[in-house]
Amino acid sequence: MLGSLRKFSGSIYAKILLGIIVIPFVFWGMGGSIVGGSKNIVVKIDNEKYSTQDFVNFIRKFADPNKEIKSDQVEEFLSLYISEKLIEHEVEHFGIKLSDVSLGKLIKLQKGFKRENKFSRVEYEKFLIKNNITASTFEVNLSKHEKKKQLLDFIGGGIFPSESLVNDTYNKINQKRSIELLNLNDIFKKKISFSENEIKSYFENNKSKYIETYKSIKLLELSPKKLIDTDEFNNLFFERIDEIDDLIIQGKNLDFLVQKYNLEKGRLFTFDKLGTETDSKPISDLPKSLIKEILNLNDIDPTILVEKTNKYFIVEFIKIENIQKGFEDNAVKEDILLNLEREIKRKLIAKIISKINKNNFSKSDFNKLSIDENVSIKKITLENRNDSKILKDELVNQIYSSPEKKVIVVNDIFLTENFLIFINEVKSVTIDKNSEEYKKYLDLAKLEITSKLYDTYDKLIKTKYKIDINYQTLNTVKNYFN
């Protein structure tokens, strides 16, 4: 069901069916009072108690069924769960209602339920069947969705930014910036060198990091030649495929099917979550989409029939094992070198940032570093905040968040790109009120104001409701999913 729903991720249907609107003002941490109490209660908001079962159902509803749920994710789900319940409280507090007549009109307005520009009951029913959801469940979620929307409109509606605020928004995005740039990687590479002993020492201290989980499966491709001794995909072949599918549902394994249909034995594969075999080589003779499906196999449903790109496979789960990768493994060595490099880069970058923060690194120091390290300064002009011709978007955003005549360090999250930047000049720009783009920036300015308003509302809600989290129960939920 969730697989089908995710295909609708860009539409109103996904938002309605999943029951969550992304609301920028609700960012609840894991604060709240620590309480004991019943194991059946996970959180209490004022005098309202919410059950563990309801929370677990909430997680199952939104979690990716193909991925393991980790402890920190359970906490994130609890934040979302609390957010949902607080919104319901607020909807009730403000007396926001939706009549059956209004709900009916809302359903009939949805484009996906129309045929020849008119509401089609057939299209509506098809949608419900395709997504395995009842009309009552859909209508309850749609009603919740609309009430939340009305709450947001109530809080942030009616905002109209002034012309100066629109120009401020336009300028933040479109101002030109002339910068001078030093590539710190050219400096770092002269200082980065590791002995074999340093590499081995890192490995010994981080051995557990290089334990990989491998899944072993047997796989047999079913072709017409193997199954019915012909090259044609005829009715008999598909009858055999249906028979095999039925037998698998009845619990028959690969060995049984091999004997019954006189097939060759399945091939054994052992690979990790990336589809890489124990020798660190990727499996090249299986479709990636098939490998992804195989990775979801477990001992609950150990044997499945899979169809991929007009090919049919019987796949049988054998075992899962943890394998300690050795120091001599090339992938391990490569990862160790990357981590050691990052450690050195962090230390060197931290020294520079510390000087900048203490106002002990000026433009003259910037120039001196270039001379001392024999690394040239590059001068470039950024046309706007979206100009990523030379630097990555995330680096450009860091530059646009800093003032003129300032030396800053910018880098990406993995420290693969690191630059020392001097922001030489900022050229501000304005937008004409009659410009075709004016409305776009009017909407962006409105969004920025509304976001700040939601942030204020967030703080208000945090003081309005008393939230008690039962951490003993929360830990039980974490253990349940692990």
306-334: pLDDT as tens digits = 887 778 889 888 888 888 988 888 888 99
Torsion, Cα of 144, 147, 148, 151 (10° steps) = -160
pLDDT of residue 425: 96
Question: Who contacts 137 (Cβ-Cβ below 8 Å, separation ≥6)?
Answer: none
The least confident of 33-42, 63-72, 386-395 is 33-42
d(CA 294, CA 315): 7
Q: Which has more confidence, 381 or 279?
A: 381
pLDDT value for 283: 74
220 φ, ψ to 5°? Answer: -135, 120
- Examine the pLDDT at 406 and tell me if it is beyond 90: yes
How far apart (Å, rounded) are the C-alpha atoms in residues 235 and 243?
12
Integer Cα distance of 104 and 44 in angstroms = 34
In angstroms, the CA 455 to CA 472 distance is 30
Specify whether the CB–CB gap between 148 and 21 falls below 8 A: yes
| Whether the model pTM is above 0.85 | no
What are the boundaries of each domain within the chain? 2-157+458-481, 172-197+331-427, 210-324
pLDDT tens digit string along 121-149?
888 888 888 777 888 888 888 888 888 88
Q: What is the average pLDDT score of the chain?
A: 84
For the stretch 180-189, pLDDT in tens is: 999 999 999 9
pLDDT of residue 38: 66
Query: How far is residue 3 from each of residues 66, 292, 340, measured CA to CA in Å?
Result: 10, 14, 40
- CA nearest neighbour of 92 among 138, 46, 29: 46
Higher local confidence (pLDDT), 407 or 232? 407
Residue 9, pLDDT above cutoff 80: no
Q: Which residues pair with 468 in a beta bridge?
A: 33, 44
Chain segment 430-470, per-residue pLDDT in tens = 999 999 999 999 989 988 888 888 888 878 887 888 889 99
Q: What confidence tens digit (pLDDT) does each residue in 197-239 have?
A: 999 999 999 998 988 888 888 989 888 888 888 888 888 888 8
What span, in angstroms and rounded, lies between the C-alpha atoms of 349 and 366? 14
Share of the chain above pLDDT 70, in %: 90
The residue-averaged pLDDT of 330-357 equals 92
**Distance between start and end Cα atoms, the chain:** 23
Which long-range CB contacts under 8 A does 135-142 form with residues at least 24 apart?
Answer: 138/16, 138/17, 139/103, 139/107, 141/16, 141/17, 141/19, 142/16, 142/103, 142/106, 142/107
Q: What is the pLDDT of residue 11?
A: 45
Tokens of 66: 């193909």
pLDDT over 50 at 18, yes or no: no
DSSP H/E element including 303: strand 303-308
Q: What is the pLDDT of residue 67?
A: 74
Candidates 22, 6, 18; CA nearest to 149 is 22
For 224, the enclosing helix (H) or strand (E) is helix 224-228
pLDDT exceeds cutoff 50 at 167: yes
Q: Please state which CATH number belongs to domain 2-157+458-481.
A: 1.10.4030
- How far is it, in rounded angstroms, from Cα 274 to Cα 70? 18
> What's the pLDDT tens digit per position in 258-308?
999 888 888 888 888 777 777 767 777 777 777 777 777 776 778 888 887
Alpha carbon 286 to its chain centroid, in Å, reads 26
Q: Which residue has the tokens 């003259």?
A: 364
